[in-house]
Amino acid sequence: MADAMVLQAQEFVNASHGSRSGMTVKEDGKTGRNTTYPLTRALQWELGSSPVSAYFGP
């Protein structure tokens, strides 16, 4: 089942970061790694982290 808020987040990350490697997400409204990893990478990019990855931490 699709979640409208998850779909909005997916649309946002694709519109703002979808051209960057690893930051494109399938717009299906479903949570999971295919959504959280690109969102995490996009947040790290916004924060200026280098290199970006699918995880936070050491």
**Residue 57 within any structural domain of the chain:** no
CB 24 within 8 A of CB 51: no
Per-residue pLDDT reduced to its tens digit, 6-18: 999 999 999 999 8
How far is the CA of 7 from the CAs of 16, 29, 32, 54, 56, in angstroms?
A: 14, 4, 12, 19, 23
pLDDT, residue 57, reads 75
Domain coverage including residue 42: 4-47
The mean pLDDT value for 30-57 works out to 92
Rounded (5°) CA angle 12-16-22: 95
- Residue 33 pLDDT more than 70? yes
**Residue 52 within any structural domain of the chain:** no
**Residue 58 within any structural domain of the chain:** no
How far is the CA of 31 from the CAs of 2, 47, 55, in angstroms?
A: 9, 23, 16
Six token digits for residue 10: 């997916």
**Residue 28 within any structural domain of the chain:** yes
